[in-house]
């Protein structure tokens, strides 16, 4: 009997090609698309996924989880900005929606595996004596940064069919060769529930509180001008500050209590230390003392040598070299020397 796998399908090229690859590997594939939000474009994605499933002769389910998505992802996104933090909605979506819901549905359908079109690897590690999440070979395509929050006990039930592919051209070629209409479909934007990518406009329309002006101040306390509301600024920002100074200035901090945007020179952006909470470990149950690792403070950042030190319910991360624009609300993800994800958490 063929093993059953529930495949999360967005209607895009990656998840569609994943269906083909899984079939070629001998699995019985069931497609599943999750309705997440009330905006133009989602129905098109559902229709595209349905057409792919019809073409490949696989069953397709559509699950309505708009309420859960709003609560766990959209509301969290808004509340984090309210608190002068910069969230990563993809991390929350993977944790609470994509893998949480898909894994639950897979059990209902008696599927042994869940699969998605992410670029990442899962393999058994003799060193850690368990299944591990590992970077794919092509650094630019690797998406493990967004996946660290998957429960470690579920890794053995997850498949990433694209783990050996590093080029979108390759996946599009497979889609064309199999007659899939989505072969030339554009990649989705970064934040799915903000179709025009204008997150500032989205926040102004949905934040449900008055956005107040305040002072832009130097780290020394000198007032340089007025800001247009904390939600319009993030750590590392240089453009759009509307102030003049003898040298370039960047946002280096946001003070919610004083409603201040704090600015400084580029050297003020660098720090060798951060604290993180909401830690999810993937290779062990808890951190007993401290370990060396490579840590990454944003998706496009390079991993850097660091020491992780346990401090009660949070951890301290001390880098060997200063890191640029460490941003509260973003994730810090830890890797070993072989690219295996040790775990990660949210930067305080």
pLDDT tens figures, 104-120? 999 999 999 999 999 99
**Model confidence at 64: pLDDT above 70:** yes
Q: How far apart are CA 84 and CA 261, in angstroms?
A: 10
Burial class (CB in 10 A: 0-12, 13-18, 19+), 24: exposed
- State residue 213's pLDDT score: 96
Burial class (CB in 10 A: 0-12, 13-18, 19+), 48: buried
Q: How far apart are CA 177 and CA 285, in angstroms?
A: 44
CATH code that applies to domain 269-347: 2.40.30.10
pLDDT tens figures, 199-244? 999 999 999 889 999 999 999 999 999 999 999 999 999 999 999 8
Q: Write out the catalytic residue numbers.
A: 93, 192
- State residue 141's pLDDT score: 87
Average pLDDT, stretch 333-338? 97
The CATH homologous superfamily to which domain 210-264 belongs is Adenine nucleotide alpha hydrolases-like domains (2.30.30.280)
The topology under which CATH files domain 4-117+161-184 is Rossmann fold (3.40.50)
Query: For residues 16 and 60, is the Cβ–Cβ distance under 8 A?
Result: no
155 contact partners, CB below 8 Å, separation of at least 6: 122, 130, 131, 132, 133, 282
Instruction: Report helix, strand or coil for 268.
Output: helix
pLDDT tens figures, 135-186? 987 778 899 999 999 999 999 999 999 998 877 888 999 999 999 989 888 8
pLDDT tens figures, 30-59? 999 999 886 655 677 899 999 999 999 999
Of the candidates 32, 96, 85, the residue with the CA atom closest to the CA atom of residue 59: 32
- State residue 315's pLDDT score: 95
Pairing of strands 260-264, 214-218: parallel
- For the chain, state the CA radius of gyration: 22
**Model confidence at 194: pLDDT above 80:** yes
Name the residue with tokens 């608190």. 83
Query: For residues 3 and 15, is the Cβ–Cβ distance under 8 A?
Result: no
- State residue 140's pLDDT score: 82
Residues linked to residue 341 through DSSP beta bridges, in sequence order:
335
Q: Where are the domains of the chain?
A: 4-117+161-184, 210-264, 269-347
pLDDT tens figures, 286-321? 898 899 999 999 998 999 999 999 988 789 999 999
- State residue 1's pLDDT score: 77
Q: How far apart are CA 139 and CA 266, in angstroms?
A: 27
């Amino acid at each position: 009997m063929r093993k059953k796998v529930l495949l999360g399908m967005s209607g895009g090229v990656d998840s569609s090609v994943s269906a083909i690859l899984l079939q070629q590997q001998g699995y019985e594939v069931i497609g599943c698309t999750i309705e997440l939000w009330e905006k133009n474009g989602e129905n098109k994605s559902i229709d595209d996924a349905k057409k792919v499933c019809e073409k490949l002769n696989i069953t397709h389910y559509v699950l309505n989880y708009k309420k859960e998505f709003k609560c766990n992802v959209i509301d969290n996104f808004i509340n984090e900005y309210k608190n002068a933090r910069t969230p990563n909605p993809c991390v929350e979506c993977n944790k609470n929606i994509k893998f949480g819901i898909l894994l639950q549905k897979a059990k209902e359908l008696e599927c042994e595996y869940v699969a998605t079109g992410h670029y990442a690897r899962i393999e058994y590690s003799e060193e850690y004596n368990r299944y591990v999440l590992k970077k794919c070979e092509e650094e630019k395509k690797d998406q493990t940064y967004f996946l660290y929050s998957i429960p470690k006990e579920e890794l053995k039930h997850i498949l990433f069919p694209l783990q050996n592919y590093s080029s979108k051209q390759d996946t599009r070629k497979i889609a064309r060769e199999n007659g899939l209409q989505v072969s030339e479909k554009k990649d989705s934007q970064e934040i799915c529930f903000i179709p025009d990518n204008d997150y500032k406009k989205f926040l102004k329309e949905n934040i449900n509180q008055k956005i107040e002006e305040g002072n832009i101040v130097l780290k020394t306390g000198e007032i340089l001008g007025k800001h247009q509301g904390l939600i319009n600024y993030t750590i590392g920002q240089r453009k759009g500050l509307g102030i003049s100074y003898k040298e370039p200035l960047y946002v280096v901090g946001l003070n919610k209590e004083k409603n201040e945007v704090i600015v400084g020179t580029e050297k003020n952006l660098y720090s060798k230390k951060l604290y993180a909470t909401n830690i999810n470990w993937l290779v062990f149950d808890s951190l007993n003392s401290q370990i060396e690792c490579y840590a990454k403070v944003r998706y496009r950042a390079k991993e850097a040598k660091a020491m992780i030190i346990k401090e009660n319910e949070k951890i301290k991360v001390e880098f060997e070299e200063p890191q640029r624009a460490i941003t509260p609300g973003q994730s810090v993800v830890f890797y070993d020397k072989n690219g295996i994800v040790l775990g990660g958490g949210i930067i305080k």
